[in-house]
Amino acid sequence: MAQVEEDLTHNHMLWSAFLGGGAAGLFVDVVLFPLDTIKTRLQAEQGFKNAGGFRGIYKGLGPQVVGSAPQAALFFVTYESIKHYCEPLVAKEAMPLVYMFGASVAEVMACLVRVPMEVAKQRKQTSIVYKSSIRILLGAYKYEGFFKGVYRGFGSTIMREIPFSIIQFPILECCKSYYSKNFKNNIPLDPWEVAVCGSIAGGTSAAVTTPLDVVKTRIMLAERKSAKNESLTFTRMFRKVVKKDGVKGLFAGVVPRTLWIFLGGYIFFGSYDFAKNTIFDFLQSDVR
């Protein structure tokens, strides 16, 4: 009987992480979308003004809305599952390694949904010609292929997201643990307190990994002709950015990116914690 209740509680934890992550991801991406557009245009090779400037800052919102909830849900159900299974087996001192590993695997899962949506979103954000997201992805598939078109930049996205998460989640978990231990006598944090920890972790990670984001954006936005004439590897694009714009170019859009993820971290982790706990309590009410 105890094992049945434990299994049911674990299933409820997974469902609450899945649904809570999806709700949080959708909410934060819609609210802060203009900052993402400005960041993308600052990083575009043609320059901020030619990429659209401040005009149409909600262009590309459609694919973001479609992909936001599934990718966030996939991330958190993977991350929480790895934490759940590893915590009883790993010493407390080694838990940051679990957070890094869990976040890295979760990012790969999320990118299966994120990358095609990013390709459609960023091309809409920087294009002066209106095309639907479906037409953009169909065109990418037709002229560039599945992996080089629809999943353009998958490798560079992984190379951005994994370092980001390796920095972000240990900081997040350490902030939560430190705050709970020193200010709340080990009582679980309220959602707004989790939100503060999330904003600190997100803002720090965003600033540090901006060069990786610039390279990823340039690869996704590269012209089809350019993509065919040269191999769009991470290293080649990194060198191209440095050669053309210098080290300064690697930090294009650092202010809106850091602000976006700092604010997004507050909204995202706060709403995720609230939604997850609310859904979990609702599901557990049947068990009790």
Which two three-digit tokens encode residue 188? 């679980």
What is the spatial distance between Cα 189 and Cα 106, in angstroms, rounded to a whole number? 23
Q: Give per-residue pLDDT as tens, 244-288.
A: 999 999 999 999 999 989 998 898 898 888 888 888 778 777 555
What's residue 229's pLDDT? 47
For residue 70, pLDDT over 80 is answered with yes
For residue 178, pLDDT over 80 is answered with yes
For residue 175, pLDDT over 90 is answered with yes
Q: Work out the average pLDDT over 6-28.
A: 78
What is the spatial distance between Cα 171 and Cα 156, in angstroms, rounded to a whole number? 23
Q: Work out the average pLDDT over 64-84.
A: 87
**Which domains are assigned to the chain?**
2-287 (1.50.40.10)
What's residue 224's pLDDT? 55
What's residue 4's pLDDT? 53
User: Residue 277: which of 24, 1, 65 has the closest Cα?
Assistant: 24
Which two three-digit tokens encode residue 256? 């809106």
Find all residues with CB under 8 Å of 113, minimum gap 6, and list them.
Answer: 67, 70, 71, 74
What's residue 7's pLDDT? 62
C-alpha distances in angstroms, 211 versus 32, 208, 237? 21, 8, 11
Q: Give per-residue pLDDT as tens, 201-244.
A: 999 999 999 999 999 888 888 765 544 545 568 888 899 999 99
Q: Work out the average pLDDT over 56-85.
A: 86
User: Residue 99: which of 205, 212, 191 has the closest Cα?
Assistant: 205
For 94-112, b/e burial (b = at least 16 CB within 10 A) is ebeebbbbbbbbbbbbbbe
The confidence band for 87, taking pLDDT boundaries of 50, 70 and 90, is confident
